[in-house]
Structure formats: C-alpha cells, structure tokens
Amino acid sequence: MKSTASNSPSNASAAARRRFLQGLGTIGAALVAGSAVLPANAQATVKEIKGVTGKHRWGLLIDTTKCATGCDACVRGCNAEHGINSTGNPDTDAQWIRKIELKDNLTGQLSSLPMMCQHCESAPCVDVCPTGASFKRADGVVLVNKHTCIGCRYCMMACPYKARSFIHEPITDQLTRAPRGKGTVESCTLCVHRIDASGSQPAEKSAEKTVQQPACAVSCKEDAHNAITFGDLNDPDSEIVQAIERSQAQQVRADLNLNTGVRYTRL
C-alpha cells in the first residue's frame, strides 16, 4: 500500500502531540491563574456553634522561667481531667500535653516547657481534614468532632507540633466531658467543657475571672509554679495579653505564621 507523508502514523502522531501540547499550555495557564487566587482563601474555616462568639479568643501563656524541670503536674492534671490512662507505651498513648526539656545550642541554657495543641488561627489540621471533623470554634479553640472523624490521621501529618494523638486500642470508662474512642484522633481541647460551663457568668466580669481555668493551669498553680496563664487574647486589658506584651512572648515555629493561641516566654 502506498503511503504518503501526510497520512503516515508518525505525522499523525506528531500532529496529535502538537495539539496536546497546545492544550497543556492552556491548562497550565489556567492553573497558574487559579493558584494566584488560592492563597487569598487559604485560611482555616470557623465552625459556628451556638453561644460561642469571636468576642473572645482563648489562649495560654507558658512562662518557661517558671516551668520546673522534671515537673509534670500539668500532664497529670490533664490526664485526670480527661480520663487519659497510660498503657506504658508513650509512642501509642494519647498525649494531649507533654513535657519537653530543651538546651539552647548557642548558650547551653536549659529550659522546660509543656507542649500541647497550639490552637492556631490558621490551623493546618483544620485545613487538611477531609470531613471537617477538625474544626476551629469562633473563640479560637481547635477541636475534633468525634462523630465525623474517620481516623485518616492527615491532621497528625499536618500538625507542626505533633500535638495530636491517634487512639490505637479500645478504651473504656470514658468521661462524659471528654468523649474519646478507638480509631479517632484527639488533642488538647483547652478544657473547652470548662470554658462552656462558664458561659452563663455575668458578662460585665472580665473574661479570665469568669471562665474556669484549664486543668493544666490549675495543676501548675496547685504545684506552686504558676507557669501557665489562661485568658482572652482578644482583651487588651486581660492578664494574659499584658503578660505577653511585658515578656515579649513568642510562638513555637513562628516562621510558619500560624498565629498560635499558645505563647511562650523566653523560648
């Protein structure tokens, strides 16, 4: 059979390739244009919950100069409050709050601090959760909806602070105030049940006086360290904001620009 240059398979293939490259160029241009719009919307969404408003933003200030090396009162207080028991394997145990001892590479100065969910304003865990089970309340508290968490652990991959725990084995005797279950992810709730229990307090009182303190802060205070201050980050007159201003408190991994709700002095 006589074959001409115009209808040979190689020419047809080359023409198809040209059409494809043209199409690819168009799609590429559209994607570049789309990516320019994306960052403008790249903020964590806020879930509306009855009675919770953006008037307050709850947060913690950790004074590392007061946090004692070897002390784990905050961890014990948190575990007792939420019914978290150790199985003896810290790698699979739930750790809503943990203690870390640090040494400065330049000065050799030692410091001690508790690490927990930082309740970020732009929370990566909220952004990546496929079902929206990880969510942020209007008052800044980042939580996990135990009814819609499918246990994909993407939030754990995304959290820069390793602050989330996956429940690896069946657990029993959970507390009503802290629903937990095998196969789901959990983390510090900032003792949200205490915050919500204080919701009926008179509005004229200042926020931190009316709202119950989280268990970690209470335990730290009971151990006479007083290294954890809880309060309203939106209130410029609150004790926590005043202390943050005085101490020039910092965020952990401030370079990520997550605007954390937990701040540290002398980090």
Nearer to another protein, 189 or 238 (CB): 189
Task: Specify the DSSP element, H or E, that contains 239.
Answer: helix 239-247
* Binding residue (CB under 8 A) for another protein from 52, 62, 185, 207: 185
Cβ neighbors of 141 (< 8 A, separation 6 or more) are 58, 119, 189, 190, 192, 195, 261
Separation of alpha carbons 148 and 107, rounded Å? 47
Contact 120, 142 (CB under 8 A): yes
Nearer to another protein, 134 or 238 (CB): 134
> Is residue 160 close enough to count as binding another protein by CB under 8 A?
yes
Separation of alpha carbons 33 and 52, rounded Å? 37
Nearer to another protein, 120 or 178 (CB): 120
Separation of alpha carbons 213 and 198, rounded Å? 10
Q: Binding-site residue total for another protein (CB under 8 A)?
A: 71
Residues in 71-110 at the binding interface with another protein, rule: CB under 8 A:
72, 75, 89-93, 95, 98-106, 110
Residues in 190-249 at the binding interface with another protein, rule: CB under 8 A:
none
Residues in 38-67 at the binding interface with another protein, rule: CB under 8 A:
41-42, 44-45
- Which region among 55-63, 146-154, 195-203, 204-212 touches another protein (by CB under 8 A)? 146-154
> Is residue 25 close enough to count as binding another protein by CB under 8 A?
no
DSSP of 189-209: --SHHHHHHTTTS-TTS-HHH
> Is residue 253 close enough to count as binding another protein by CB under 8 A?
yes
